[in-house]
């Protein structure tokens, strides 16, 4: 995947770069690499932008510092505003997620990617496919999210997601076919860790939900991340 990626810069950025826009460069490196590879940088001074062509670049890590919140406070009611028309979730011809171990079978709906990221407040019992990641059953990293607790304070569809273990089966039903995936890992990460949306060469499911509600903070401390690869 090759993308033309651009970043806007401000006058403060120019000052920090020694007063010269030519000092702005873009570079890339694999995770954990010590050396960076300088990319061919194109200055768009008319629009205060610096651009470059990037291969296998995960733009989520730059544009969206946090993932969507996937849980409400347990055992209490959270009142939601009316869902805006531009954020309505689209059903995908009956595409479903089935996880036998946690007795979950639910419809997958598409969550649009807006300027502020993904808003999943109105998912309810549905499973949300985060648009911009690989579409379910396609090659790449497919991000699916569900609530751990619903807005009415009751358990959500992913309340037992953390109980999955290596080798557990996950199925996606689509277009009259059943696609089988096996869990490869179950992790707990920081809520803002967008590295979980990184590129994958194979058909991979990344299931996301919140974990560990902190009454003092009024928020969840962790994110459960389950990775499963298609057989």
In sequence order, the β-bridge partners of residue 228 are 183, 205
In sequence order, the β-bridge partners of residue 90 are 110
Average pLDDT, the chain: 86
Mean pLDDT over residues 122-141, rounded?
94
Q: Report the range of poorest mean pLDDT among 11-20, 118-127, 142-151, 170-179.
A: 11-20
Per-residue pLDDT at 161:
98
Q: What would the pLDDT profile of 31-54 be if each residue is shown by its tens digit? A: 545 456 667 778 888 888 888 766
Q: What would the pLDDT profile of 146-175 be if each residue is shown by its tens digit? A: 999 999 999 999 999 999 999 999 999 999
Residue 95: pLDDT band with limits 50, 70, 90: very high
Q: Report the range of poorest mean pLDDT among 86-90, 145-149, 190-194, 218-222.
A: 190-194
Mean pLDDT over residues 180-195, rounded?
92
Mean pLDDT over residues 67-90, rounded?
92
- Can you tell me the distance from the alpha carbon of 128 to that of 83, in angstroms, rounded to the nearest whole number? 15
- Can you tell me the distance from the alpha carbon of 68 to that of 159, in angstroms, rounded to the nearest whole number? 16
User: Which of 1-5, 25-29, 96-100 has the largest mean confidence?
Assistant: 96-100
Report H helices in the chain.
Answer: 11-16, 60-63
> Which of 132 and 146 is assigned the larger pLDDT?
146
Q: What would the pLDDT profile of 194-212 be if each residue is shown by its tens digit? A: 888 888 889 999 999 999 9
In sequence order, the β-bridge partners of residue 205 are 142, 228
Say if residue 65's pLDDT is above 90. no
Per-residue pLDDT at 113:
84
């Amino acid at each position: 995947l090759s993308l033309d990626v651009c970043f806007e810069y401000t006058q403060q950025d120019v000052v920090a770069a020694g007063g010269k826009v030519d000092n702005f460069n873009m570079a890339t490196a694999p995770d954990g690499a010590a050396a960076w590879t300088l990319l061919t940088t194109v200055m768009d001074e008319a629009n205060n932008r610096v651009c470059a062509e990037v291969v296998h670049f995960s733009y989520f890590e730059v544009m969206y510092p946090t993932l969507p919140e996937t849980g409400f406070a347990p055992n209490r009611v959270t009142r939601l505003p009316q869902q805006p028309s531009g954020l309505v979730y689209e059903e995908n011809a009956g595409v479903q997620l089935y996880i036998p171990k946690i007795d979950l079978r639910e419809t997958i709906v598409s969550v649009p990617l807006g300027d502020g990221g993904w808003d999943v407040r109105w998912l309810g019992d549905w499973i949300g496919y985060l648009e911009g990641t690989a579409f379910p059953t396609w090659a790449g990293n497919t991000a699916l999210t569900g609530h751990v607790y619903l807005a009415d304070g009751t358990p959500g569809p992913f309340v037992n997601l953390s109980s999955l273990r290596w080798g557990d089966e996950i199925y996606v039903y689509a277009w009259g076919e059943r696609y089988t995936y096996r869990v490869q890992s179950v992790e707990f990460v920081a809520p803002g860790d967008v590295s979980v949306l990184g590129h994958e060469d194979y058909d991979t499911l990344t299931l996301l939900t919140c974990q560990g509600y902190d009454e003092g903070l009024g928020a969840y401390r962790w994110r459960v991340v389950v990775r499963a690869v298609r057989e």
